[in-house]
Structure 1
Amino acid sequence: MRTGNEPVNARSALRLRFWLSMWGLLWAVFGTTVFSLLGSPGWATACGVLFLIVMVDLTVVLHHIHQGPHWQPGRSIPPYEPDHGGRRR
C-alpha cells in the first residue's frame, strides 16, 4: 500500500542487509589478507577501510534488529499511517 510518505516511514530489509554485510565482511577480510601477503599495501589498505565500513554498517543493522518490530516489522504489522505533522484529517 502506497501512502505517499515512504521516504519518512520507509522500512529496510534488515535481514538482507545483514547477510550482504556478512558477505562483504568475508571478502574484505579475504582481500586484506591476500593483498598483505602479496605485498600490495595500497589494495590491502583499501580492503581494510572497506572492512571498517562494513563493520559499522553491520553494527547499525544488528542494533536495529535488536530494537524489535519498529525496525524489523513482520508480515503481521501493517504499514505505518502517514504522519501529517500533528494535523488530523
Structure 2
Amino acid sequence: MRTGSEPTTARSALRMRLWLSVWGLLWAGFGTVAFALVGRVGWAVACGVLWLVAGVDLAMILRHLRQGPHYQPGRNVPPYWPPDHPRT
C-alpha cells in the first residue's frame, strides 16, 4: 500500500544483487567440486543446493532487469491512506 511517504526515486539494488548472486554461484560451484573431490558427499550436496538456489536467484534478477523500470506514480497522484488512518 502506498502511503505517500515513499521516496519518489526509489530503486531496487538489482545490479548489486546480480554481482552478489554471481559471486555466490561461483563459490558454491567451487565448494561443490572441491567437496566432491575430497569425498565429503554431504557438504558437496549442501553446496550443490546452494548453487541451485543462487542460480534461480540469478535468473530472477536477470528477468527483473530485462523487464525494465515499472510505472511509479508521480507527484500529482495523491497518497493512499493506511487502513488504520482515519480519513478526514
Asked if TM exceeds 0.5, the reply is yes
Q: CA deviation at 1:11?
A: 3.3
Gaps of at least 5 residues in structure 1 are 72-77
Q: Residue 39 of structure 1 corresponds to which residue in structure 2?
A: 39
> In 2, are the aligned partners of 1:5 and 1:82 still within 8 Å (CA)?
no
Instruction: Count matched residues.
Output: 73
| CA separation of 1:82 and 1:37: change in aligned 2, threshold 3 A | farther
> Aligned partners of 2:41 and 2:16: how far apart in 1?
32
Q: TM-score, normalised by structure 1?
A: 0.70
* Deviation sequence 1:23-79 (CA, Å, 0-9, x none): 0000000000000000000000000000011011101100000001229xxxxxx89
**Alignment partner of 1:66 is 2:62:** no
**Larger-gyration structure (1/2):** 2
Structure 2 match to 1:4: 5
Q: Which has the bigger relative contact order, CA under 8 A and spacing at least 6?
A: 2
Cα-Cα RMSD: 2.6
Please report the TM-score for the alignment, with normalisation by the length of structure 2: 0.70
